[in-house]
Structure 1
């Protein structure tokens, strides 16, 4: 199984890029985690928000591995503790499919993506900067793996 974080937006501050890279390279070979950044549709085009999100949806769908479980990150998604995320990660592993975790652009994810998702998760009750959401998701997935694997990274 492979975890693929598909995130709208290609430019991150150096600190966020370094933090994401650090967590992603820690995953073991049998559970790789990678980031695929897709281009944000320019907000200066004068297009309606729905058209912007639709253009980003096409890019997101192209980046998702065929047959992958879709997990959208959304402010209305299910809350999960580290232990619950570890249990989900274990269930995903038994499912055998790759898992694509989707982070939307400035206006979020297109409604069609949300409807097509197998699951919806929230990272926080707070509104997070996009770069921080990527770092937080990368760390949370690594921490969940550490719980699942009995690795000492996570301490209760």
Structure 2
């Protein structure tokens, strides 16, 4: 089993890298997130947002394989809570499935990538900086793991 976090973006600022590593190192090895950086597709003049999303979707797909469980994060996705995520994490472990957590770039995710994902989840109705989303996701995975294992962190 592996969990990949696929998101376009540049090098993480130190504070993001520190926070991400802190939570990721708390997880057991088999649940630690593998951060897969995707080069953002922006930068070409006169490139439409749709073209940017398409290019980033193609780059993301290169890091997935048939049989993976793909979960796209999108503001229109399902609102989930910690108990639900904890149950999903237990299922992933029991089934040994490889999971791809997919976050869009500055323009969002291309519709084809969202439709090809088995699940579409929303972190919030709020908009977050992409760097912060990395920290939120790894913290939520750790929180779900803590709940599964009756660790006091979840009650904090």
Match of 1:125 in 2: 125
CA distance in 2 between partners of 1:63 and 1:149 (Å) = 30
The alpha-carbon deviation at position 79 of structure 1 amounts to 1.0
Say if 1:73 and 1:122, in contact at 8 Å, map to a contact too. yes
How far does residue 152 in structure 1 lie from its aligned partner after superposition? 2.3
Aligned length: 156
| Residue 2, structure 1, aligned to residue 2, structure 2 | yes
- Quote how far apart the aligned CAs of 1:66 are: 4.5
Equivalent residue number for residue 87 of structure 1: 87
| Residue 110 (structure 2) pairs with residue 149 (structure 1) | no
Aligned to 1:114: 114
**CA RMSD for the aligned pairs?**
1.5
Q: Secondary structure at the match of 1:57?
A: helix
Equivalence for 1:28: 28
Q: Distance between the aligned counterparts of 1:133 and 1:26, measured in 2?
A: 18
Counterpart Cα distance in 1 of 2:94 and 2:147: 16
- SS class of match (1:153): helix
Q: Output the CA distance in 2 between the equivalents of 1:30 and 1:14.
A: 25
More divergent stretch after superposition (90-99 vs 102-111): 90-99
Q: Which runs of 5+ in 1 are unaligned?
A: none
Q: For the residues of structure 2 that align with 1:11 and 1:29, how far apart are their CA atoms?
A: 23
CA displacement, residues 3-36 of structure 1 (integer Å, 9 cap, x when unaligned)? 1111111222211121112111221023232111
The equivalent residue for 1:48 is 48
Q: TM-score, normalised by structure 1?
A: 0.92
Q: Which runs of 5+ in 2 are unaligned?
A: none
Which string of whole-angstrom CA distances, capped at 9 and with x for unpartnered residues, describes residues 103-137 of structure 1? 10001111110000000111112111111111101
For structure 1, which segment, 95-104 or 64-73, has the greater mean C-alpha deviation from structure 2 after superposition? 64-73
Does the CA contact (< 8 Å) of 1:20 and 1:135 recur in 2?
yes
Query: Contact 1:65 / 1:100 at 8 angstroms: preserved in 2?
Result: no
1:52-85 CA distance string (max 9 Å, x none): 1111111111122552100001101111111111
